[in-house]
């Protein structure tokens, strides 16, 4: 009996997409935030960098209220934030603009970011990841895995944050 290539490929895709460790939740949404990123594989040699805090607290206290990348030696930038359903909630090409929004009390949400830049030397760097919008610290996420803008130094996120929030209920 011959199996059509389409049926065989579909079966393999179903098997591979349903692989998970015991106890892992079933994930049904595939996030598109990393689609289409371009990074020059030979390196840029122009010392360009993208640093992206993965957490912010839009509570208007003047500390970590805005979500934005920190860049060095970048000529052009495209910064986009998606919600959990892959809807664009913010996008900009201005390196000085970031996402400002509001957050309810005792709440946290996860979003996804995509950053594509052209360096001052004409090379391409792209990065993507998760972004946490917080009004409290989620108990399920280690605080040490959260990086806020106030932690950034020219060497990366090396300072302790000044954020002080309660743990989410």
* pLDDT at 149 exceeding the cut of 90: yes
pLDDT number for residue 20: 39
Cα 15 to chain centroid, rounded? 28
The angle formed by the CA atoms of residues 115, 54 and 52, to the nearest 5 degrees, is 40
pLDDT number for residue 146: 95
pLDDT number for residue 48: 87
Tell me the pLDDT band of 41, cut-offs 50, 70 and 90.
low
Query: What CATH number has the domain spanning 30-157?
Result: 2.60.40
* pLDDT at 161 exceeding the cut of 70: yes
pLDDT mean across residues, the chain:
81
Per-residue pLDDT, averaged over 7-28, amounts to 39
Report percent pLDDT > 90 for the chain: 53
pLDDT number for residue 30: 61
* pLDDT at 12 exceeding the cut of 70: no
pLDDT digits (tens, 9 = 90+) for 76-125: 999 999 999 999 999 999 988 999 987 777 789 999 999 999 999 899 99
* pLDDT at 18 exceeding the cut of 70: no
Q: Which two tokens stand for residue 46?
A: 């122009």
Per-residue pLDDT, averaged over 16-37, amounts to 55
Q: Which two tokens stand for residue 152?
A: 């950034």
């Amino acid at each position: 009996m011959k199996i059509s290539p389409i049926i065989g490929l579909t079966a393999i895709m179903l098997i591979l997409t349903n692989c998970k460790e015991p106890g892992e939740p079933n994930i049904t949404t595939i996030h598109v935030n990393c689609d289409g990123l371009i990074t020059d594989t030979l390196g840029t040699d122009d010392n360009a960098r993208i640093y992206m805090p993965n957490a912010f607290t839009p509570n208007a206290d003047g500390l970590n209220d805005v979500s934005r990348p920190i860049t060095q030696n970048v000529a052009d930038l495209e910064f986009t934030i998606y919600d959990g359903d892959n809807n664009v909630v913010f996008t900009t090409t201005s390196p000085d603009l970031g996402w400002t929004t509001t957050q309810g009390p005792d709440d946290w949400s996860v979003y996804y970011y995509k950053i594509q830049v052209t360096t001052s030397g004409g090379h391409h760097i792209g990065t993507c990841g998760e972004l946490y919008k917080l009004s409290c610290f989620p108990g399920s996420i280690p605080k040490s895995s959260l990086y806020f803008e106030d932690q950034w130094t020219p060497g990366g996120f090396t300072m302790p944050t000044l954020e002080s929030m309660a743990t989410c209920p």
